[in-house]
């Protein structure tokens, strides 16, 4: 079996579920004939036809709203927003409707859909193509926010997202779309939502991260191991609802935690994790929780973006600070 990239795993999951379930339809800009600007839907128009792979007019609010209408009729739309920075035009529908239809109608109508979008910086793209604003969605009751960080998890989590009976925001880290390849059996096996993945076990410190930052964090953990520091690396994967159980169990074991995300620091998801650690296991902490994040600035344009993003070096520095904390 050949190895595939994260973006190919997305395609494989879409194809699998479209084959398995006639209710799954895809819509978005440039997704049909062109196969998506990142090629995540390539070949699906040819395979499933124009009734189920729909190029829409260029209007993101419309893409969000129409998907919700379809979902209320029992279709399972998987809509692509070309970039996260263009998704904001659809926010009214996501916040005011998708997340609330079930609650508003006391279960009479539901909204089983997936809103996919490439997100994150590091690909030298123009402004609005490097957003990492997942916390906006994580704040909204009724939504799920899922972020895969490997081909295997992209496949399994996207299948789970499509099968989930509620709306899922599925954020695909562009920087690792083609960074690594893995063998991904096309067996239709979903991975669990609402669960963290422990990517590396360790006893000295817990590194909590997701999306693009998983690879920088793993790199840092590898270098720390050379100094005989054993870091446990957790890929949160579903940032809403948070699986605090897994994070707490790890921090109870290690007593130290660094949270890494590329989004701006203030009110980022890291703040919620840190707050919950303070509420639930303050006394098991041997040092304050530290965050390594993007700055509280606009993501810079391409030339400066590498200075904005957390790196393995910055993570290692934070780990050393936490380990050397003496109260």
Partner 1 sequence: MTIVAKFEIPYLRFLDSEGKINKPLPHFAKNSRDLISLYRTMVLTRTFDAKAINLQRTGKLGTYPSSLGQEAISTAIGAAMQPNDVFCPAYREYAAQLQRGVTMAEILAYWSGDERGNQFAANPEDLPIYVPLATQCLHAAGIASAFKLRNQPRVVIVVCGDGATSRGDFYEAINLAGVWQLPIVFVVNNNQWAISVPRTAQTNAATLAQKAIAGGFAGEQVDGNDVIAVKYALDNAIAKARAGSGPSLIEAITYRLCDHTTADDAKRYWDPQTVEQAWQEEPIKRLRQYLIKNKHWDETQEAHLQVECNQQIEQAVTEYMNLPPAKLTDMFDYLYASLPAIYLEQRREVEI
Positions that interact with partner 1 (CB under 8 A): 25, 51-52, 56-57, 59, 61-62, 64-75, 77, 92-93, 96-97, 102-110, 141-142, 144, 164-166, 194, 241-245
Q: Give the CA diameter of the chain.
A: 63
For partner 1, the closer CB: 6 or 95: 95
Whole-angstrom distance, CA of residue 79 vs CA of residue 31 = 9
Whole-angstrom distance, CA of residue 261 vs CA of residue 244 = 16
Whole-angstrom distance, CA of residue 88 vs CA of residue 172 = 16
- Look up residue 63 and give its two tokens: 């893409």
For partner 1, the closer CB: 3 or 22: 22
Whole-angstrom distance, CA of residue 112 vs CA of residue 121 = 29
- The secondary structure element, H or E, covering residue 298 is none
Q: How far is the CB of 248 from partner 1 (least distance, A)?
A: 11
For partner 1, the closer CB: 111 or 322: 111
Whole-angstrom distance, CA of residue 119 vs CA of residue 160 = 20
3-state secondary structure of 200: strand
Strand-strand pairing, 144-146 and 168-173: parallel
For partner 1, the closer CB: 142 or 294: 142
The CA distances from residue 86 to 39, 111, 226, 227, in Å, are: 18, 21, 42, 43
DSSP class of 300: P
| Catalytic annotation, residues | 129
Q: How far is the CB of 105 from partner 1 (least distance, A)?
A: 5
Q: 304 CB contacts (<8 Å, ≥6 apart)?
A: none
Residue found by looking up tokens 């929780």 in the block: 289
For partner 1, the closer CB: 135 or 231: 135
Q: How far is the CB of 30 from partner 1 (least distance, A)?
A: 16
For partner 1, the closer CB: 64 or 114: 64
Whole-angstrom distance, CA of residue 310 vs CA of residue 261 = 7
Q: How far is the CB of 239 from partner 1 (least distance, A)?
A: 12
Q: How far is the CB of 227 from partner 1 (least distance, A)?
A: 35
- Look up residue 6 and give its two tokens: 């994260």
Q: How far is the CB of 157 from partner 1 (least distance, A)?
A: 15
């Amino acid at each position: 079996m050949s190895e595939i990239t994260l973006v190919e795993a997305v395609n494989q999951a879409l194809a699998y579920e479209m084959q398995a379930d006639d209710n799954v339809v895809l819509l978005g800009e440039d997704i049909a004939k062109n196969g998506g600007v990142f090629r995540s839907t390539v070949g699906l128009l040819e395979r499933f036809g124009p009734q189920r792979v729909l190029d829409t007019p260029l209007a993101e609010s419309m893409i969000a709203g129409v998907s919700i209408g379809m979902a209320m009729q029992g279709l399972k739309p998987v809509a692509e927003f070309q970039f996260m920075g263009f998704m904001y035009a659809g926010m009214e529908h996501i916040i005011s409707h998708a997340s609330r239809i079930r609650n508003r109608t006391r279960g009479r109508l539901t909204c089983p859909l997936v809103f996919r979008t490439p997100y994150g910086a590091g690909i030298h793209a123009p402004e609005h193509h490097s957003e990492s604003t997942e916390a906006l969605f994580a704040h909204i009751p009724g939504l799920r926010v899922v972020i895969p960080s490997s081909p295997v998890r992209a496949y399994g989590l996207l299948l789970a997202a499509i099968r989930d009976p509620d709306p899922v925001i599925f954020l695909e880290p562009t920087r690792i779309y083609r960074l690594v390849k893995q063998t991904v059996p096309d067996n239709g096996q979903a991975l669990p939502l609402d669960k963290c993945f422990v990517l590396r076990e360790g006893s000295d410190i817990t590194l909590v991260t997701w999306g693009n930052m998983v690879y920088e964090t793993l790199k840092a953990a590898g270098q720390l191991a050379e100094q005989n520091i054993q870091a446990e690396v957790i890929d949160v994967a579903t940032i809403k609802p948070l699986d605090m159980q897994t994070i707490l169990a790890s921090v109870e074991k290690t007593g130290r935690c660094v949270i890494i995300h590329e989004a701006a620091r203030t009110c980022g998801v890291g703040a919620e994790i840190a707050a919950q650690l303070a509420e639930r296991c303050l006394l098991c902490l041997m040092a304050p929780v530290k965050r390594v994040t993007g700055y509280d600035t606009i993501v810079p344009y391409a030339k400066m973006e590498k200075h904005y993003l957390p790196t393995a070096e910055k993570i290692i520095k934070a780990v050393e600070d936490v380990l050397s904390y003496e109260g």
